[in-house]
A and B are shown apart, each in its own frame.
Chain A
Amino acid sequence: MLFKIAWRNLWRNRRRTLITSASVFLAVLLAISMRSIQEGVFSNMVDNMTGFYTGYAQIHAKGYWDEPSLDNTFETTPENLNSILQTPNVKAAVPRLESFALVATDSLSQGAQVLGIDPEGENSVTRLSEKVTSGTYLRDGDQAVMIGKDLAKKLGVGVNDTLVLLGQGYQGYSAAGKYPIQAILTFGIEQMNKGIVYLPMAAAQELYVCDGRATSYVLSFDNKDKYTGTLETLKTTLGDSFEVMSYEELMPEVVQFMEADRGASVLTLGILYLIIGFGIFGTVVMMTLERQHEFGVLVAIGMKKGRLSLLIAIESFLVAMLGVVIGYAIAFPLVLYFQANPIPLGEEMAVAYATYGLEATIPMKFMPSIFLTQSLIVFVLVMTVVVYPWWRISHLQPVAAMRS
């Protein structure tokens, strides 16, 4: 009964209904956009950070992370690779063999990190081929290396020059090899430019006497947001002889920086709610003022104040619903659009970002949970604001109200 009256009231004064629900719709739209941008920027940052080197997650032999030595390598069997790849949500597992070596020319030498990689697989995880600034990207089976540009500069070498790698292999065998430089790499990170050498997995395994062994599998996922669950599954399937680590464990200092950003984004969101809440509040106050006369009449002809309050609550609920529905209808394509076409940051920024191998854009991220929580929060805001008309109704003097 009340519901019917409320429904009719809404249609009787369409303009008012539209204005009020517009304020709700806008609140929903802006809150969703804000959160989608925050999450978009955040996951962009994670993508960039993990794309530099570590990947989203890594699997090592137990104890490798604490003591990264070749004695803590594992055998890359088809069995363990399959059990990783068959875990739901795992897209790829790329092996690496990482160690240290002295990189030398005839007269100069420098210590560097050496990475044996599966060239194609590595490219899918870290887009390594895009970092090649001269020469050509490695292919499987090549007996050649790619090195960071600052390392090349320090050793005074370029493409086609020969480098010597000298280090220690598995079980203390000596590791020594001579390789032509096939490419020079330019990274956004100085340490990588200064001290990194890539060579194909087979060549690295031969150099380090590590036949069929790897220090890590770098993982990528179908759905990056669900990686925690996937890692848990992997931990149980792989058992005690392996350690499974997420990027958060691999790069705690980066996560720390991003957490600070998350903290800042919560504050920003709070500020937005303040304004949105006040916008809705202003609209509702105006609506209440406008309807003083109507309220007065209703109470005068015998409507109980409680029922009137309930009526207003139902009306507000319906208006809020309407606002949320319109908000969804607009936010949905909007967020999807900006997810696919991030907001560009201008030419100058683009150039600056490019030197770090980054794109200067502000992306949005489509997440159903954002839609749900943000509309719920706006809903709660609306229902809190309804307290104002209730308060007016409870203090209502029918005669005075009718005269207003």
Chain B
Amino acid sequence: MKPFTKIFLLLALMLSAATGYTQTAQDIIRKSEEMRRGVKSSQGTMTMTLVRPNYTRSMTLKSWSQGDDYSLIVVTDPARDKGSATLKRLNEIWSWNPRIERVVKLPASMMNQSWMGSDFTNDDLVRDVSLITDYTQKLLKDSTITGRACWKLELKPKPGVPVVWGKLVFFIDKKDYLQIRAEYYDEDNFMVSTLQGLEVKTLGGRPMVSKLEMKPTEKKGNSTIMEFVTMQFDAAIPADYFTTQYLQKIR
């Protein structure tokens, strides 16, 4: 029996390799999610630019993250906000501000507030919904976005999943499985906001969307642009980085 099992296994492997050519929508999403966060840890620097009808403002941030559950972001510029830090632990957010020298845990009712004045809310940082298991995925026809050949996928939340969207439409780059563009629709099929990749670069040895823009459809002239400047992956980060004690020490 043993040889047979081996042959059978081999066959199965070959088959799966063959179906790789016509992989399912779920496979694509899974791979792209692995590309995006399939690292044990990351650290880097980035700039965040708030675009508003009357002004544009930039800040520089340093970040550390470990898996999906822990991350730490600290402002390095402008001087006024230098040292302000946000710690995410599982689904809690803690905030530190050097001027008041106090660590504050954000209560549930504050989660709808904008994070650092951007178009992201605190809640966007902690909302933990899996694109793979909480949605059903469907392949739409291929399309080309900013010169890159992409799969176009439609994701619909499964019943009972705590998600407000009617559907999401993702454009995933065929070469590197990068999420080039994401569109968020409400249940009346109205596109509420978009997340658009503006640049792809290799950072820390991995190809990634290095610059992306979040744009709410109904707020004319508002958007938030994130640009990753340096990135380092899978370097060991001490576990105590993601504690409220450390939050008070980082600069």
Interface residues of chain A, those whose CB is within 8 Å of chain B, are 71, 100, 102, 104, 106, 109-111, 164, 166-168, 171-174, 176-178, 209
Contact = CB atoms under 8 A, between A and B. Distances in A.
B117 A171 contact: yes
B118 to A, nearest CB: 7
B116 A172 contact: yes
B99 interface: yes
A171 B50 contact: yes
B116 A174 contact: yes
B100 A166 contact: yes
A176 B97 contact: yes
Given A171-B55, A172-B57, A173-B81, 14 more contacts: A71-B52, A71-B54, A106-B102, A109-B105, A111-B110, A164-B100, A164-B104, A171-B50, A171-B57, A173-B80, A176-B100, A178-B99, A178-B100, A209-B80
Contacts of A176: 84, 97, 99-100
B159 interface: no
A209 B52 CA distance: 17
Interface string B23-42: 00000000000000000000
A224 B54 CA distance: 37
B50 A174 contact: no
Contact of A168 (B57, B80, B106, B117): B117
B97 A109 contact: no
B97 A174 contact: yes
Nearest to A106: B102
Contact of B106 (A100, A102, A171): A102
Given A104-B104, A111-B109, A172 B50 contact: yes
A382 B109 CA distance: 65
B120 to A, nearest CB: 11
B113 interface: yes
Contact of B102 (A104, A111, A168, A171): A104
B232 interface: no
A177 B78 CA distance: 18
6 contacts: A102-B106, A104-B104, A171-B52, A172-B50, A177-B99, A177-B100
Given A102-B110, A172-B118, A174-B81, A166 B104 contact: yes
Contact of A166 (B52, B95, B116): B95
Looking at chain A's contact residues, the main secondary structure is: strand
B18 to A, nearest CB: 52
Nearest to A100: B113
B114 interface: yes
Given A168-B114, A172-B57, A173-B117, A178 B80 contact: no
Given A168-B117, A173-B80, A176-B100, A110 B107 contact: yes
B117 A172 contact: yes
Contacts of B54: 71
A324 B117 CA distance: 67
A129 to B, nearest CB: 28
Contacts, number: 63
B97 A168 contact: no
A163 to B, nearest CB: 10
A100 B107 CA distance: 14
A110 B52 CA distance: 29
A374 B115 CA distance: 61
B117 A166 contact: no
Contacts of B116: 168, 172, 174
A174 B117 CA distance: 8
B223 to A, nearest CB: 13
Contacts of A167: 113
B117 A109 contact: no
Contacts of B118: 172
B104 A109 contact: yes
A111 B117 contact: no
Closest 5 CB pairs of A and B: A172-B117, A176-B97, A178-B100, A176-B100, A104-B104
A109 B97 CA distance: 15
Nearest to B52: A71
A71 B119 CA distance: 14
Contacts of A166: 95, 97, 100, 104
A171 B110 CA distance: 19
B47 to A, nearest CB: 14
Contacts of A177: 99-100
Nearest to A165: B100
Nearest to B97: A176
Nearest to B56: A171
A284 B251 CA distance: 95
A111 B75 CA distance: 24
B102 to A, nearest CB: 5
Interface string B74-102: 01001011001000000000010101111
